[in-house]
Amino acid sequence: MSADKMLRGIENRLVWGGWMLMWKHSWQWISLVACMFLLPAAPSAFAQGGVEANLPLIDLPPGFSIEVYARVPEARSLAVGRVLDTVFVGTRRDSVYAVLDRDRDGIVETVAPFARGLNVPNGVAVSEDGWLYVAENTRIVGFSQPEFDPLGLNEPIPIYQSLPAYGAHGWRYLALGPDDKLYVALGAPCNICEVEDPMGTISRLNRDGSGFEVYASGIRNSVGLDFHPETGILYFTNNGADRLGDDIPADTLLRAPEPGLFFGFPYMASSGDTTPSPAFAGREMPREMTPAVAKIQAHSAPLGIHFYRGEQFPAQYRNVAFVAEHGSWNRSEPVGYQVSLFAFDEEGKLLRQEVFAKGWLQGGRPWGRPVDIDELSDGSLLVSDDFAGIVYRIRYRDP
């Protein structure tokens, strides 16, 4: 199939899907459908060669290599189950996929739908005792490992069914904390607007669905969260507001060492940043804002974050945060489309910030968009790409 025919097919599906969503959920879904239309068009010059042909375009530090690990339609959030290194992949459609490498030789034997009929099952998290948790638009469900079939379609067990329903920023992100609680990111349902809890927050709850509470607030749109391996402190990404210019406000990386912190939105156009929201100019914030621990070029769209815990990479990468920058959709000159790294000291002070992998953007057009990052048991790094429908594997060997 040619790239032009593929794009026409995708466009037709988006038009039909957009009308159906708007009919079902009214104005709340309009922003979601609009964002789908505004995604960059697939560059035919690269698509003709295929993803494997494009991999040499990815620039990595010496000793690192990248390969296709699995092909998963619109791959989004990743969660690695330690049994057989099963990789669960969330999407913004209706399915969660299972990716299996049974003999752990680095070659995937099976990619199969694990669950279907879900409502934007973007967020996925796996517990040490084998439960898979999935965050849909309005609920969190679970799958018990002794009962589920990694190669079959599985029925979800409802865990929590009262997440607020809205389309814009309505794809949820999920993580299990060191306190054995589920943490879920709930973006604000707008570009800039007044929000009510739990919108614009990171909230947490017990794994049985009880004890739901707001953990951090004033967050415009957190799209990835992880916990420092040594301190157990929560770090999370945030996307700043659109339509204020190419270079403001900054996208941010935030740190919440304790519950109850406030990060400034909607008074600030990006959480933890110092750019005021025009509509809230002169209004006093309800409490002190916690500043960002790192700022990222506006519109880079940092999504997944993962602290490296393995031993395959050189020692300087231990406990470093890798962040997937999904890339801009409305900037005059595109930015992002890369994986960056951030190193912090024990107090959260930024020690270094640099690009780790780049090359998905060529000549101002992308052929891939990094979404999330996780780690296999051998210490290699996985990166999902919802634009190319790929999960990449990054490995290190002494150069």
Q: Identify whether the C-beta of residue 59 lies closer than 8 Å to the C-beta of residue 358.
A: yes
Q: Sign of the C-alpha dihedral, residues 207, 213, 214, 216?
A: negative
Residue of 288, 313, 393, 300 lying closest to 355 (CA atoms) = 300
CA gyration radius, the chain: 20
The residues, any chain, with a CB within 8 Å of residue 387's CB and separated by 6 or more, are: 39, 40, 42, 366, 367, 368, 369
- The pLDDT of residue 388 is 97
- The pLDDT of residue 350 is 98
Helix axes 30-37, 3-25, angle to 10 degrees: 170
Task: Give per-residue pLDDT as tens, 46-97.
Answer: 554 689 999 999 999 999 999 999 999 999 999 999 777 899 999 999 999 9
- The pLDDT of residue 49 is 61
Task: Give per-residue pLDDT as tens, 102-111.
Answer: 888 888 999 9
Q: Where are the domains of the chain?
A: 1-38, 43-71+323-399
Q: Is the per-residue pLDDT at 386 higher than 60?
A: yes
Strands (E), 196-312: 201-206, 213-217, 225-227, 234-238, 251-256, 261-262, 294-296, 302-307
Lowest-pLDDT choice from 102-116, 159-173, 211-225, 333-347: 102-116
pLDDT band at 2 (very low <50, low <70, confident <90, very high): very low
| Whole-Å CA distances, 46 to 66, 106, 287 | 17, 26, 49
Q: Over range 275-293, report the average pLDDT.
A: 94
Task: Give per-residue pLDDT as tens, 4-33.
Answer: 433 334 334 333 333 333 333 333 343 434
The residues, any chain, with a CB within 8 Å of residue 51's CB and separated by 6 or more, are: 68, 367, 368, 388, 390
CA 390 – CA 369 distance, rounded (Å): 10
Residue of 234, 232, 251 lying closest to 331 (CA atoms) = 251
Q: Which residue has the tokens 């960059």?
A: 40
- The pTM of this model reads 0.89
Pairing assessment for the beta strands 157-160 and 234-238 based on DSSP bridges: unpaired
Q: Over range 204-230, report the average pLDDT.
A: 98
